């Protein structure tokens, strides 16, 4: 995708022009000076955006961190009701999901490996809601609930936000309880039976006590039709509740008690036939020959017909909630904050792991229950010429996953070599069952500090450090039995048991431990030559926690390779140069940042190629590098028009990964001699290399070029006696080609695409009615492409949403 350099004039503090901050966008702490209405009006006129990225209230243009901010008005008007939608407004934010548990949130292409489900591994982008850390990225699939503002911090944030923020952090702020009575209701309807309703109300219960309640519900018919069940699958079915109490206990102490509950329960998530990509497996063991032998054909070979015939149950029950207590005490020279939280996550899935309408894998599910407890103490103080943040953080997580996979009557013919008589005996694998028990206890503790030392009026030096300790203990047990309930041994046995073991490998390891100390530190130098110009340079050393492979590890000759159970932490060195500028009386904002990130011991996914519960495990690649330039540009020449352009160029590669898994076109055949490159790629019957050197190749999920851009124009008008304005807006995002496989494959590159959205309506201060269309040009595109187990050459995928349209009505009071 070739794009002119001039289009690099893109976004900074907000992807949506110049969002006007609400007076309650960030509630000041007891020690903060209250913002008057005059301050708010002046701030709005100057296109200011207020953030809490450094754990204090600041103008975004004064913070030496690349930040994208989306306020409540932009979230509502663009239909960005979850992180997946939010990525369309922010070119360096990527979200990939085949189901809520198997999701990745990445920034600048870094964060978590695509396609990995592993309880013992951490994410690389921290998600925080009201200062509470969410340890599992499944929260990113839930609807935003009564949200005021979303800040996306790009680059390592390990000092203030802790471990596992090597790529950045998403800081979400909910609307706070108000001491003035207020409320809002919104209703949206659209094609594909889309229905969404949101409501919130807030007000005082007493002179010193205020409450806020919010509810949101979303439903939509699935985007894929299952001809086998007669149902539309990959649907939406979300509901969320949130409540908060604010108690002004004294003039210097505020207490906020919050609670929430969210549930998704759609018939989801199907990945459907995309294409056949030949591997090096014997031709009679690849997809065309196997389907012919079983008399099977997919409903359509065109994935954008959106048809499937998956025969196993599909479900994606995702339940999450919790409670938190935040205390803020004004000490005179600063604010002492305590955040105590408990979170739970219940995951109840059902999948079709053979990706066909054949009864190969008839049952596949790994339900999990997780609880986490966090406690943070933080003191933000200031003195003459400096300010600082000191804190301590503790985290505990308990996980229990109990999975089951069962093979069906077509499994023998699909999985066993046709030259064996066992392939024609359905009873060999029919009813073969693996029952998994996965457990993890995860503790983390940290001490941290950040100093901003002002050397004169223009120059600031900001060092930071965080010391972190991790303690993880995990177990993985997989018991495999045949249809009669007989145990399948780890090794040995008869030919029938060997074939069963090739399909589902039993194994066990218990009380595997990972314990380590790590230190993160950073140094930022910032220079402010004038009111509207900020220059900064940052070096950060951070890490992503090591962990345990709790999907199982390879078994060689009956021996469980427990030395592969532990995964080393990623070590990150990051350099950044940036400039934040405003001009034309702050009607225009132009920010630019250049970055260079090197990760040693990068946690990369490795697939073993079998059709088993061992879907993948992690190994450490030697080194990866991501570098690039981001620019953000927004302009508001008048009250009638605002526009923005955000973009990024990202260069990315595995610098050193000599023992990587091979792509499907170099897999499936008999093992080539060690060190050999193997036979011709994509030709059946060839020898396959044991490992592949993918040094110099792309990382998955990253486009070289990504852009988001949009504009809105309004004109004064009167409608039904209401004084207001008509408006017309549009936004779009474009990205170039990217790889969708851990080792880049000729079969799994996703071509670049552009998604355009439009809206038009009438609004007043408290009323809004508008029509909208998303993916207006019905761009056919894939969100994910994936190789399926067994090296049969079947490539599955998840098509993105087609064109959708509808109407939204909202009213505030």
User: Is 453 inside a domain boundary?
Assistant: yes
Q: Rounded mean pLDDT of 714-738?
A: 95
Report the range of poorest mean pLDDT among 243-252, 739-748, 770-779.
739-748
Which token pair is 68? 């994208």
Q: List the strands of the sheet with 132-134, edge to edge.
A: 67-71, 147-154, 168-174, 125-129, 132-134
Domain count, the chain: 1
Going by C-alpha positions, the residue among 571, 564, 560, 559 that lies closest to residue 548 is 564
Going by C-alpha positions, the residue among 655, 659, 621, 661 that lies closest to residue 744 is 661
State the residue range of the domain holding 213: 45-812
Element (H, E) at 411: helix 411-415
User: In this predicted structure, what is the pLDDT of residue 104?
Assistant: 82
pLDDT single digits (tens) 132-190: 998 877 777 788 889 999 999 999 998 998 877 889 999 999 999 999 999 999 999 99
Report the range of poorest mean pLDDT among 31-45, 77-91, 568-582.
31-45
Going by C-alpha positions, the residue among 338, 497, 518 that lies closest to residue 429 is 497
User: In this predicted structure, what is the pLDDT of residue 323?
Assistant: 98
Strand partners, 518: 468
pLDDT at residue 203 tops 80: yes
Q: What angle do CA 252, 255, 261 make, to 5 degrees?
A: 160
Name which residue leads in pLDDT, 510 or 675: 510
Which residues lie closer than 8 Å to 230 by C-beta, 6 or more apart?
A: none
pLDDT at residue 30 tops 60: no
Which token pair is 59? 């103008």
User: Is 11 inside a domain boundary?
Assistant: no
User: In this predicted structure, what is the pLDDT of residue 142?
Assistant: 81
User: In this predicted structure, what is the pLDDT of residue 158?
Assistant: 87
User: Is 275 inside a domain boundary?
Assistant: yes
DSSP conformation letters of 40-67: HHHHHHTT--EE-TTSS-EEGGGSSS-E
Name which residue leads in pLDDT, 551 or 762: 762
Going by C-alpha positions, the residue among 252, 267, 262, 181 that lies closest to residue 220 is 267
> What are the distances in angstroms from CA 329 to CA 35, 326, 377, 448, 606?
19, 10, 11, 19, 49
User: Is 19 inside a domain boundary?
Assistant: no
pLDDT single digits (tens) 415-444: 999 999 999 999 999 999 999 999 999 999
pLDDT at residue 718 tops 70: yes
pLDDT single digits (tens) 489-511: 988 899 999 999 999 999 999 99
Q: How confident is the model at residue 27 (pLDDT cuts 50, 70, 90)?
A: very low
Supply the Cα-derived Rg of the chain in whole angstroms.
Answer: 27
Q: How confident is the model at residue 31 (pLDDT cuts 50, 70, 90)?
A: very low
Q: Rounded mean pLDDT of 341-356?
A: 95
**What is the rounded distance in angstroms from the CA atom of residue 536 to the CA atom of residue 534?**
7
**What is the rounded distance in angstroms from the CA atom of residue 240 to the CA atom of residue 616?**
33
User: Is 17 inside a domain boundary?
Assistant: no
> What are the distances in angstroms from CA 728 to CA 636, 721, 759, 763, 771?
15, 21, 6, 11, 10
User: In this predicted structure, what is the pLDDT of residue 72?
Assistant: 80
User: Is 28 inside a domain boundary?
Assistant: no
Q: How confident is the model at residue 616 (pLDDT cuts 50, 70, 90)?
A: low
Which residues lie closer than 8 Å to 43 by C-beta, 6 or more apart?
A: 21, 35, 50
Q: Rounded mean pLDDT of 694-722?
A: 95
User: Is 604 inside a domain boundary?
Assistant: yes
Q: What's the predicted TM-score (pTM) here?
A: 0.90
pLDDT at residue 615 tops 60: no
Under 8 Å between Cβ of 678 and 697: no
pLDDT single digits (tens) 552-602: 887 777 788 888 888 899 999 999 999 999 999 999 999 999 999 999 999
User: In this predicted structure, what is the pLDDT of residue 617?
Assistant: 67
Quick one: DSSP state of residue 420? S
Q: How confident is the model at residue 622 (pLDDT cuts 50, 70, 90)?
A: very high
User: In this predicted structure, what is the pLDDT of residue 606?
Assistant: 64
Q: Rounded mean pLDDT of 196-215?
A: 97
Dihedral of the alpha carbons of 501, 502, 504, 509, in degrees to the nearest 10? 70
DSSP helix/strand/coil, 601: strand
pLDDT at residue 63 tops 60: yes
Other CB atoms within a 10 A radius of the CB of residue 637 amount to: 11
Q: What percent of the chain has pLDDT over 90?
A: 74
Going by C-alpha positions, the residue among 319, 310, 316 that lies closest to residue 349 is 316
pLDDT at residue 669 tops 70: yes
User: Is 200 inside a domain boundary?
Assistant: yes
> How distant is the alpha carbon of residue 159 from its chain centre?
21
Q: What percent of the chain has pLDDT over 70?
A: 92
pLDDT at residue 378 tops 50: yes
Q: What is the mean pLDDT of the chain?
A: 89
pLDDT single digits (tens) 267-312: 999 999 999 999 999 999 999 999 999 999 999 999 999 999 999 9
User: In this predicted structure, what is the pLDDT of residue 117?
Assistant: 67
pLDDT at residue 9 tops 80: no
Report the range of poorest mean pLDDT among 102-111, 134-143, 539-548, 568-577.
134-143
**What is the rounded distance in angstroms from the CA atom of residue 132 to the CA atom of residue 216?**
21
Q: How confident is the model at residue 245 (pLDDT cuts 50, 70, 90)?
A: very high
User: In this predicted structure, what is the pLDDT of residue 116?
Assistant: 59
Place of tokens 């932490």: 569
Specify the CATH number for the domain of residue 206. Answer: 2.40.170.20
């Amino acid at each position: 995708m070739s794009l002119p350099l001039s289009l690099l004039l893109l976004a900074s503090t907000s992807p949506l022009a110049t969002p006007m901050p609400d007076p309650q966008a960030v509630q000041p702490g007891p020690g903060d000076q209250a913002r008057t209405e005059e301050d708010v009006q002046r701030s709005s006129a100057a296109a200011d955006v207020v953030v809490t990225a450094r754990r204090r209230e600041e103008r975004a243009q004064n913070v030496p961190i690349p930040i994208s901010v989306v306020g409540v008005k932009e979230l509502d008007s663009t239909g960005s009701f979850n992180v997946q939608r939010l990525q369309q407004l922010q070119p360096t934010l990527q979200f990939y999901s085949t189901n809520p548990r198997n999701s990745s949130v990445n920034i600048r292409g870094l964060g978590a490996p695509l396609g990995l489900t592993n309880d013992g591994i951490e994410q690389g982008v921290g998600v925080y809601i009201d200062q509470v850390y969410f340890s599992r990225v499944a929260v990113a699939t839930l609807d935003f609930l009564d949200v005021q503002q979303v800040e996306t911090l790009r680059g390592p944030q390990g000092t203030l936000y802790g471990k596992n923020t090597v790529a950045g952090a998403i800081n979400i702020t909910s609307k706070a309880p108000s001491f003035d009575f207020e409320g809002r209701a919104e209703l949206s309807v659209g094609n594909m039976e889309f229905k969404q309703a949101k409501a919130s109300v807030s007000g005082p219960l007493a002179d010193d006590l205020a409450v806020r309640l919010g509810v949101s519900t979303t439903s939509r018919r699935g985007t894929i039709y299952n001809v086998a069940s007669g149902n539309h699958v990959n649907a939406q079915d979300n509901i969320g509740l949130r409540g908060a109490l604010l108690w002004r206990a004294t003039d210097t102490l505020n207490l906020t008690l919050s609670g929430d509950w969210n549930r998704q329960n759609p018939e989801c998530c199907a990945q459907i036939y995309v294409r056949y990509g030949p591997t090096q497996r014997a031709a009679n063991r690849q997809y065309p020959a196997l389907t012919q032998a079983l008399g099977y054909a997919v409903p359509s070979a065109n994935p954008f017909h959106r048809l499937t015939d998956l025969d196993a149950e599909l479900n994606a029950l995702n339940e999450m909630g919790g409670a938190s207590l935040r205390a803020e005490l004004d000490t005179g020279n600063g604010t002492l904050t305590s955040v105590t939280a408990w979170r739970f996550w219940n995951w109840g899935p059902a999948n079709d792991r053979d990706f066909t309408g054949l009864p190969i894998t008839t049952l596949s599910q790994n339900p999990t229950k997780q609880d986490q407890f966090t406690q943070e103490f933080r003191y933000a103080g200031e003195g003459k010429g400096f300010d600082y943040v000191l804190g301590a953080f503790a985290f505990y997580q308990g996980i229990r996953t109990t999975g089951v996979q069962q093979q069906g009557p077509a499994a023998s013919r699909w999985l066993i070599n046709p030259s064996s008589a066992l392939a024609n005996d359905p009873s060999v694998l029919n009813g073969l069952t693996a029952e998994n028990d996965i457990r993890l206890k995860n503790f983390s503790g940290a001490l941290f500090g950040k100093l901003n030392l002002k050397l004169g009026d223009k120059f600031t030096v900001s060092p930071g450090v965080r010391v972190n300790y991790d303690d993880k203990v995990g177990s993985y047990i997989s018991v495999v039995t045949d249809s009669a309930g007989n145990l399948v041994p780890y090794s040995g046995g008869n030919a029938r048991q060997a074939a069963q073991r090739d399909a589902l490998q039993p194994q066990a390891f218990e009380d595997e431990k990972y314990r380590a100390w790590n230190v993160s530190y950073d140094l930022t130098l910032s220079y402010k030559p004038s009111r509207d110009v900020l220059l900064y340079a940052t070096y950060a050393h951070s890490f992503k926690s090591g962990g345990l492979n709790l999907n199982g590890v390879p078994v060689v000759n009956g021996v469980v390779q427990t030395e592969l159970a532990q995964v080393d932490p990623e070590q990150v060195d990051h350099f950044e140069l940036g400039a934040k500028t405003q001009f034309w009386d702050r009607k225009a904002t132009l920010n630019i940042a250049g970055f260079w990130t090197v990760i040693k011991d990068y946690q990369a996914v490795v697939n073993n190629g079998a059709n088993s519960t061992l879907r993948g495990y992690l190994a450490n690649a030697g080194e990866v590098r991501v570098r690039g330039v981001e620019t953000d540009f927004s302009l508001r020449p008048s009250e009638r028009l605002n526009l923005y352009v955000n973009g990024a160029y990202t260069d990315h590669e595995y610098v050193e990964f000599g023992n990587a898994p091979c792509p499907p076109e170099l897999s499936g055949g008999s093992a080539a001699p060690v060190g050999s490159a193997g036979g011709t790629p994509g030709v059946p019957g060839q020898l396959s290399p044991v490992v592949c050197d993918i040094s110099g190749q792309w990382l998955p999920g990253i486009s070289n070029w990504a852009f988001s851009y949009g504009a809105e124009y309004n004109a004064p008008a009167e409608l039904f006696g209401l004084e207001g304005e008509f408006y017309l807006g549009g936004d779009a995002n474009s990205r170039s080609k990217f790889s969708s496989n851990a080792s880049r494959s000729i079969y799994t590159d996703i071509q670049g695409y552009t998604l355009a959205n439009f809206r038009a309506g009438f609004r007043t201060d408290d009323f809004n009615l508008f029509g909208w269309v998303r993916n207006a040009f019905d761009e056919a595109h894939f969100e994910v492409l994936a190789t399926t187990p067994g090296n049969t050459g079947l490539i599955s995928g998840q098509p993105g949403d087609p064109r959708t349209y509808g109407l939204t009505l909202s009213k505030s009071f």
